Amino acid sequence: MRSFEELVSEAESADVTGWGFQWLDGRAREERPPWGYARLLAARLATVSSALDIDTGGGEVVAEAPSLPRRMCVTEGWPPNARRARELLGPRGVAVHEPTPEGLLPFPDQSFELVTARHPVRPDWAEIHRVLAPGGSYLTQHVGPGSAFELIECFLGPQPAQRSARDPGAEARAAEDAGLAVTDLRTARCRMEFYDVGAVVYVLRKCVWWVPAFTVDRYRGRLVELDRLIRREGRYVAHATRHLVEARRPD
């Protein structure tokens, strides 16, 4: 394995825009939930004439679908990701929008048959209900409680309050309070493995909410400890939690 400084320097200079993780191929691995969200999304997009994908990142997940509805829109609030989504999805006729300054969806009521999201920042159930047409559905994969917290707490220390956030049962109740009927709710706990310290640095630069204000200089001591552990054990193990939610706006 290359030196600590080489691995960290390479990860610091890597491009972290968009929502693809190909840079980590061979350097980290995350087990996927059993339901196969990208496959479910592609199948559903082929059955509707209008759809909205929220917090689309660089549009990578939508781009995997071989067939898109006649009217396909996405939202993305971070300008570098929005630019990448336009480059990737624009040639397929997808309209890329940014949320309003208040964080609202920039669409009229009852605009879409299908609303989707993979790992949205935070679901606004009232807005999702508002833009769904009667009989329309919301299909999503959300990050669950305590996801990757072995790694997060390695840098920040115990985070008991944050560990309990994103509870799938609480989210289902919030969806129903907004007028949606939850028709499917599944959960999964998936193993994550990091094979070098550069992979850790890359992920923390990309998922900036995991360790706010992360920099290599600020956490160099902890990164050196992780590097030693990975060299000794062959990997650093954490666990991601995910839940699949499908909810329907009643007719």
Per-residue pLDDT of the chain (251 residues; tens, 9 = 90+): 899 999 999 999 999 987 778 999 999 999 999 999 999 999 999 999 999 999 999 999 999 999 999 999 999 998 999 999 999 999 999 999 999 888 899 999 999 999 999 999 889 999 999 999 999 999 999 999 999 999 999 999 999 888 888 999 999 999 999 999 999 999 999 999 999 999 999 999 999 999 999 999 999 999 999 999 999 999 999 999 999 999 999 99
Q: Quick one: pLDDT at residue 194?
A: 98
Q: Is the Cβ–Cβ distance between 246 and 139 less than 8 Å?
A: yes
User: Order of strands across the sheet with 132-143?
Assistant: 28-30, 181-194, 236-248, 132-143, 112-118, 50-54, 71-75, 95-97
Gap between the terminal Cα atoms of the chain: 59
pLDDT of residue 122: 87
Taking the model in full, what pTM does it have? 0.87
Q: Give me 137's structure tokens.
A: 């559905």
**Token pair of 110, please?**
């009852």
Question: Of 53, 49, 59, 166, whose CA–CA distance to 105 is shortest?
Answer: 53
Nearest Cα residue to 145 out of 124, 123, 164, 170: 164
* Overall number of domains in the chain: 1
Residue 164: per-residue pLDDT = 80
Rg (CA), the chain: 19
- Tell me the residue range of the domain where 140 lies: 4-248
Q: What is the DSSP letter of 33?
A: P
Tokens at residue 32, please? Answer: 């996927």
| Torsion 189-190-193-199 (CA) sign | negative
Return the bridge partners of 112, or none.
132
- Whole-angstrom distance, CA of residue 1 vs CA of residue 164: 37
Q: Output the six-digit token pair for 67.
A: 């067939």
CB-based burial label for 171 (10 Å; 0-12, 13-18, 19+): buried
Q: What is the CATH number of the domain that holds 96?
A: 3.40.50.150
Distances (CA, A) of 201 to 26, 84, 113, 194, 218: 15, 22, 40, 10, 12
